[in-house]
Structure 1
Amino acid sequence: MAKYILGIDVGTSGTKAMLITTSGEVIAQKKDNYSFSTPHSGWAEANAQDWLNAVSSLIRTLSSHVDDADIVAIGIDGLYGGSGIPVNQQGQAIGPALIWMDRRAVLEASKASELVDNSTLMAVTANQSDPYYGYTKLMWLKIHEPDLYNKTDKFLPPESFIISKFTGEVSINYSAAGNLGGIFDINKKQWSHELAKKLGLDIKKFPNKFVTSTEPAGYLIKSWAERLGLQTGTPIFNTGVDVGPATVGTGVLKPGQVTVALGTSMNAALVTEEPLKDKDLIIWPYAYKPANYYYNFAGANTAGAIVAWFVKEFITEFDTNNGPIDLDIQSGDVPIGSNGVLVLPYFMGERSPLWDSDVRGTILGISLKTTRNDLYNAFQEAIAYSVRQSIEQFGTDIGESITLVGGVSASKKMVQMIANVTGKTIMTTKSGGEANLGSAILAGIGIHEIDPEDVTQWIKIDQKIEPDLQKFAIYNQYYKMYKKAYNSVTGFYHEFRTIQKD
């Protein structure tokens, strides 16, 4: 009799669920969309109820495909929830989560650098001070929303919040704890009471139960089992921050291959045995074997998000799903350099490797001859330049190929463009690279129904796209201008921000 596992990925703009067999066969998958709020420039907030509703609905839908007794595990990951969801002692959400994209904690990040010197922060946490990290957002909440901060019993990552509802158990994955930054000792794999005290944060407001992605975080309680159409006692695995399971979903269970995940944001990652400190990267324990491996990544706050924004705001004849497909065709003949248009894709500031909260999206070279196809192509080139800048942070020993996953990998034009810009062979997978698949795999390993050695056999390379070296040589010139453009505008944006603030 077949056994089944549910993999759930709570994303920034939608939740994706997948039902697979323990031998890797995909039975069904579905996605529910929602949105997040941007009440001010640089702010990004999400509603926990949207996540819970989406997960509940998807589980009910997918579980109906098979007998409930045959679903033997659930793995749940989530977007980087930044501050986390503030919940009271009853486990109820009492405010929004300030998600990874939120850049409001600029002054708090600066203050953190005064309270804890950068060398100490790097030595203990392998990360730095920046509004990206959840601990700086919590410092902001403590100052600007003191009632909310004081009333909060725990700040929970998205997956932890949902799992606490389903199981009654509060936990945090090592990856989510590491990504919080600031107060997580990556060497000892525990909260740093010393750093928390220096930063003025209450350590009791964080989950005290750390879990790996392959040990049950809890078991489904009866009331939720009845609502979801599952059996009471089904083990649920907290698989942490989504890009970790997404990398597992490409078959990466040991150090080596560079993986680039391109969705709403972009993450270029390398798994290592030692953290790559002092390279302006984001670092935390890997989703698989967090005691042994580290996840090092750079990336863009807005990648696919700027394409979706462009379509939504300016291409009214297309919806956001089909628009990019049609625009790929229409802009196919636009030459390298987009007829003189260059885009800086920093629509919500930028994290690693630039670490700049003030910079914003910028279009350079626009003229009366510029067409929307030129603009669209320039947006795509900006994403490709961002990929190249990110992978260069890993140094020269990254090999000649990159595994590319995520929604943007479905665009043949974008895949070829990234190959041409980076000079690397781009490999895409026929199945894999989705966080929900990775979460299902991790849960299956956890219940000893999936052999890690088998996972790489599930992930089939769909295509290998070689770079056009002549175009690569031309793109080298434009890439230099892309980096120069940022250096030219960054001072302007730092000053411009002070005017806007006034």
Structure 2
Amino acid sequence: MSSKDTNKYLLSLDLGTSGCKITLFNLRGVVIKSTVQEYQTFYPQKNWVEQNPNEWWEAIAKGLKNLNVDSLKTKEILAIGIAGQSWACLPVDKNGKALRNAIIWLDRRSVKQAEKMSADIGEDKIFEISGNPVDPSYVTPKIMWIKENEPEIYNKTHKFLQSNSYIGYKLTSKFSQDYSQAYGLHFFEVNNQSWNKKIAEKLGIDLDKIPSLYEPHEIIGRVTLKAAKKTGLKEGVPVVAGGLDAACCTLGAGVINDYQTQEQGGQAGGMSIQLDRPKGNPKLILGRHVIPDKWLLQGGTVGGGGTLRWFKNELGKYEKNLSSGTDKNPYQIMSEEANTVSPGSNGLIFLPYMSGERSPIWDPKAKGLYFGLTFKTKRSQMIRAIMEGVGFSLHHNLKTAEKSIKGIKKLNSVGGSANSKVWTQIKADITNKEINVPYSDHATTLGAALIAGVGIGIYNDYKDAVDQTVRIKRTHKPNSENHELYSKYFNIYLDLYKNLKETYQKLDKIINKN
């Protein structure tokens, strides 16, 4: 890369669950500027979780102005990549106007529609076509719910968009659906990477309401004059389709080879294993990588870094006060507290099912749990137990994957929780796998930027992009003694859910009745 490229950049937008991160990278993957803009999440009824797409767009516009992108010369921002949260269902009219709030991945209102899918088509047939299980979190049953409960909106819908495709439209006035987000629709046939018309018809979904498929690095359009005035961007900047945040994150973590695995510690948790063919597992999630013809076998958990965020918000006044006036944030203090506790947290086990759970148990009625509380339990033990519980959920997904896939030896860990050396070491000890930590805070936006760079030819291919930008910061090797102890606790972790599964059902009935 020549010296003349030093003042040229790639812009990345990451539309996450709690907010939008906007990052400007140079062509070596170094962060030049970055900002985060939060937006609201609405819970209008039990199991309903929505976000206002207009707030997404306003957050992006505000963030771009905060970065002063209008001060950059036209040719300095070469392209824009977009990462988006999974399984958002957003109906828009022919002018791209949102017809309702987006139903996001945490929403579980469409249980009846998911059950109807299983009854009418059969879970085995759906898995054969899509490589994915049936669950209310996916986009498919949400579209069916809208058609059944809001028919006037369904009839007005020109296209159903997901998070990154909506922002792509706002920037370019072009509708799109990238391959990496297509797994949210159960009529996406993994073996030939196309829509299955017969399955869509059986589900009662009109295929003309689904946008055309694009590779994540394909240019869908350019920044319009209207978008330029709103954001401060220059008119005409190329915009690529972008992709699923977890897939962008996997790329940004440096995962480009088969059986390489990314561990994600953002608001939600999970792991992504790269495969050379679409080999699904009924208890896991299968999606296209942002890299053409590569696949990701994923475990997606509700309880990632969000569990510690819950503790901070509800029980973390001590850490907040302690961090005030210092250069440490509450999470750093909680990590220090957890580091004073021995592995196993003195017999305290935490189930991180804070909003039901996705893979591998797929139980919307599961609940979070502290097991083993005594009068001797300390705050530090409660914090470490949360970290260990999230580690157990990661281990559960990895062990599920390893029943059919061999060769997973190392993980590349990214997301906010990767900033905690304590938490990362806990995960290494629980899984008995070496964990490498590249960019902790910017892997998702870096991945989206690399997609944009490949799309306009700045990088020869994805390997070239990763080689030029991804660097490992530190490595955590598992402690065999700790792993042996954690294996015993992990068995109890599994038993707890197994023994409480029916109790969760009873509790849910009581809650619903009252």
TM-score range, shorter chain: over 0.9
Q: In the alignment, residue 342 of structure 1 is paired with which amino acid?
A: I
State the alpha-carbon separation in 2 of the partners of residues 35 and 261 from structure 1: 23
Q: 1:163 to 1:282 in 2, by over 3 A?
A: same
Q: Is the 8 A contact 1:103 1:348 kept in 2?
A: no
| Pair 1:495 & 2:506 matched | yes
**Which deviations, in whole Å up to 9, do the C-alpha atoms of 1:299-339 show, x marking residues without a partner?**
21121111111110111244499222112212322222222
1:372: Cα distance to partner? 2.2
Task: Pick the aligned partner of 1:455 from 432, 446, 465.
Answer: 465
> In the alignment, which of 327, 340, 346 is matched to residue 353 of structure 2?
346
After superposing the two structures, state which structure 1 stretch, 354-363 or 410-419, moved more: 354-363
The total of aligned residue pairs comes to: 497
- Partners of 2:190 and 2:278 within 8 A in 1: no
The Cα shift of 1:348 comes to: 0.9
Which residue of the partner structure matches residue 194 of structure 2? 190
The residue that corresponds to 2:126 in the other structure is 121
Distance 1:499 1:352 in 2: 25
Partner of 1:50: 55
Change (3 A) 1:444 1:266: same
* Counterpart amino acid of residue 215 in structure 1: E
1:424-451 C-alpha deviation (Å, 9 max, x unpaired):
1111014786111111111111111123
1:71 alignment partner AA: I
* SS of equivalent residue, structure 1 residue 217: strand
Per the alignment, residue 294 of structure 1 pairs with 295
Q: TM (normalized to structure 2)?
A: 0.92
Q: 2:445 aligns with which of 431, 436, 440?
A: 436
CA distance in 1, matches of 2:442, 2:131: 26
Contact kept in structure 1, 2:419 and 2:440, CA below 8 Å: no
Matched, 1:479 2:490: yes
Aligned equivalents of 2:330, 2:437: Cα separation in 1: 22
Q: Which residue of 1 aligns with 2:20?
A: 15
- The whole-number CA distance in structure 2 between the counterparts of 1:15 and 1:364 is 35
Partner residue, 1:337: 344
Secondary structure in structure 2 of the residue aligned to 1:231 = coil
Amino acid of the structure 2 residue aligned with 1:271: Q
Contact 1:101 1:132 (8 Å CA) reproduced? yes
Query: How far apart in 2 are the matches of 1:336 and 1:385?
Result: 13
Q: Following the alignment from structure 1 to structure 2, what is the Cα–Cα distance between the partners of residues 416 and 35?
A: 33
How far the C-alpha of 1:295 sits from its partner, in A, is 1.4
Segment of structure 1 superposing worse, 181-190 or 338-347: 181-190
State the partner residue of 1:202: 206
Q: Structure 2 vs 1, CA of residues 307 and 35 (structure 1 numbering), >3 Å: closer, same or farther?
A: farther
Deviation at 1:279, TM superposition (A): 4.3
* Separation in structure 1 between the aligned mates of residue 32 and residue 511 of structure 2, nearest angstrom: 52
RMSD: 1.9
More moved, 394-403 vs 212-221: 394-403
Matched-pair contact (CA < 8 Å) for 1:100–1:132 = yes
SS of the aligned residue for 1:268 comes to strand
Which residue identity does 1:146 align to in structure 2? P
Gaps of at least 5 residues in structure 1 are: none
TM-superposed CA distance for 1:477, in Å, is 0.2
The question of 1:39 aligning with 2:40 is answered no
Q: Does 1:445 align with 2:454?
A: yes
- CA separation of 1:54/1:294 partners in 2, compared to 1, >3 Å: closer, same or farther? same
Query: Which SS does the other structure have where 2:129 is aligned?
Result: helix
- State how 1:147-296 maps to structure 2 within 5 Å: 147-178=152-183, 180-207=184-211, 209-289=212-292, 292-296=293-297
Q: Which sections of structure 2, spanning at least 5 residues, go unmatched?
A: none
How far 1:146 sits from its partner (Å)?
2.9
Q: Is the contact made by 1:347 and 1:361 (CA closer than 8 Å) also made in structure 2?
A: yes
**Mean CA deviation greater in 37-46 or 48-57:** 37-46
Is contact 1:15–1:32 with CA below 8 Å preserved after alignment? yes
Distance in 1 (alpha carbons) for counterparts of 2:352 and 2:201: 37
Residue 413 of structure 1 aligns to which amino acid in structure 2?
V
CA contact (8 A) 1:246 1:438 kept: yes
- 1:101 corresponds to which letter in structure 2? L
Is residue 356 from structure 1 mapped to residue 343 from structure 2 by the alignment? no
